[in-house]
A = this chain, B = another copy of it.
Amino acid sequence: MRALGESARAGAAALAAAPRALKDAALAAAAAAIRSSAAQILAANAQDLVVARARGLGASLLDRLLLDAGRVEAMARGLEEIAALPDPVGAVIADWTRPNGLRIQRVRVPLGVIGIIYESRPNVTADAGGLCLKSGNAVILRPGSESVHSSAAIHACLERGLAAAGLPAACIQRVPTTDRDAVRHLLAEMADYIDVIVPRGGRGLIERVQREARVPVIGHLDGNCHVYVDRDADLAMATAIAINAKLRRTGVCGSAETLLVDAGAPRGHLAALLGALLDAGCAVRGDAACQAADARVTPATELDWSTEYLDRIIAARVVDGVDAAIRHIGSYGSAHTESIVTGNTATAERFLAGVDSAIVLHNASTQFADGGEFGMGAEIGISTDRFHARGPVGVEQLTSYKYVVRGAGQIRPG
């Protein structure tokens, strides 16, 4: 593991100095290698699936693990999209001149070496490898044991991309063992070699990483997202947003988990909203007012307000106006993504300022919580941390900066 860390440091130094063209060439060659190795990747994935079924993995885990021709092509295209993004490294993000003539620039630089610990989805190998490469960071990938063959096959394509561009293989390394101890080493003993850890997976993995890591972590825990329908909402817009926020995809972190409806909303709005969700096949667990509005609503318990269902279930509650909605979200939310639907600009601004979440929206679906939808390109996840990166973590969020100061012989008086 130490040797891995030392070569990652060397890879990081090479990559920090690599011009954009070299990094983009590596990404393009890796995409081509993935396309031309599709058969091998799918064969490796079939091996993983045999083991996973024998271990009795559930259907949703099996689905995450499964690759098919479309998913392989999506990985290749993802790398090409990352290549098309602007290079964050070297970008001047602030530039000013002091009265003494010193010109100060804040310039983006890579973070250094990034450790990625992930579960199930083998495509993270390509996504995370590509994002780290573009942002000039060396990466040490630690895929879950369930995707060991798939991840190795994909990693081999990334290595071919690096080789084609003349970049060292140490830029994208993979922990060669599925030993659980490897994670402990990465978290605790590799602090000299790793600048930041990004965990991707279930709550158990992320909590373990946050507990044990001796280096900074970019983590994202629950997405317990809310849609608040205000008294001044347009009912058709509110219904469309609630349905989309909950049901477009229920397994993503930006899907809505609780619907809050203003007690001051016009008579019939509550029943119409709940009816639309129920008619669309969503179970609703509501408070007394919601149960009274539609007989199909089942009772919500206290636990429902803080549950991330990731399923066709939504909690629903009537609240006394925007301030009560802000308080409910403050008490039960996970500071991920929340939306207000209202025609009243003052109410909207109150919500946008008062809700302390990574993403707050007015009159739009919570399912826009996505780096691609934000125009940031691919992302490594949505951070619910307040430190360093918050919200979608794309190539810019995988950088640090330094100050470059140009003078003409200035010395400091005093």
Determine whether the beta carbon of A368 is less than 8 Å from that of B402: no
Which residues of chain B have C-beta atoms less than 8 A from A361's C-beta? 405-407
Q: A111-B386, A358-B403 are in contact. Are A411 and B240 (CB under 8 A)?
A: yes
Determine whether the beta carbon of B402 is less than 8 Å from that of A390: yes
> With the chains together, A147 CA to B26 CA distance in Å?
57
Which residues of chain B have C-beta atoms less than 8 A from A102's C-beta? 364, 368, 373
Number of copies: 2
Instruction: Indicate the size class of the contact surface on chain A.
Output: 35 or more
Chain B nearest CB, measured from A109 CB (Å): 7
Q: Spot the interface stretch: A35-43, A271-279, A349-357.
A: A349-357
Determine whether the beta carbon of A409 is less than 8 Å from that of B196: no
Which residues of chain B have C-beta atoms less than 8 A from A237's C-beta? 409
Q: A403-B358, A411-B244 are in contact. Are A388 and B388 (CB under 8 A)?
A: yes
Determine whether the beta carbon of B196 is less than 8 Å from that of A387: yes
A1-31 residues at the B interface, CB under 8 angstroms: 13, 16-17
Which residues of chain B have C-beta atoms less than 8 A from A404's C-beta? 352, 360
A98 contacts B by Cβ under 8 Å: yes
Determine whether the beta carbon of A402 is less than 8 Å from that of B360: yes
> With the chains together, A385 CA to B386 CA distance in Å?
16
> With the chains together, A66 CA to B203 CA distance in Å?
50
Determine whether the beta carbon of A365 is less than 8 Å from that of B411: yes
Q: Contact partner of A98 among B363, B373, B410, CB < 8 A? A: B373
Q: A364-B409, A367-B412 are in contact. Are A402 and B240 (CB under 8 A)?
A: no
Chain B nearest CB, measured from A71 CB (Å): 16
Q: Contact partner of A406 among B248, B354, B363, CB < 8 A? A: B363
> With the chains together, A168 CA to B110 CA distance in Å?
41
Q: Mark A362-398, 1 if CB is under 8 A from B, else 0.
A: 1111011010011100000000011110110000000
A47 contacts B by Cβ under 8 Å: no
Determine whether the beta carbon of A216 is less than 8 Å from that of B387: yes
A144 contacts B by Cβ under 8 Å: no
Which residues of chain B have C-beta atoms less than 8 A from A243's C-beta? 411
Chain A residues proximal to chain B, CB less than 8 Å: 13, 16-17, 96, 98, 102, 104, 109, 111-112, 195-196, 211, 214, 216, 234, 237, 240-241, 243-245, 248, 330, 348, 352-354, 356-365, 367-368, 370, 373-375, 385-388, 390-391, 400-412, 414
A240-B411, A374-B403 given; name 13 further pairs at CB < 8 Å. Answer: A16-B356, A98-B375, A102-B364, A109-B356, A248-B411, A348-B406, A360-B402, A361-B405, A364-B406, A364-B410, A364-B411, A365-B410, A390-B400
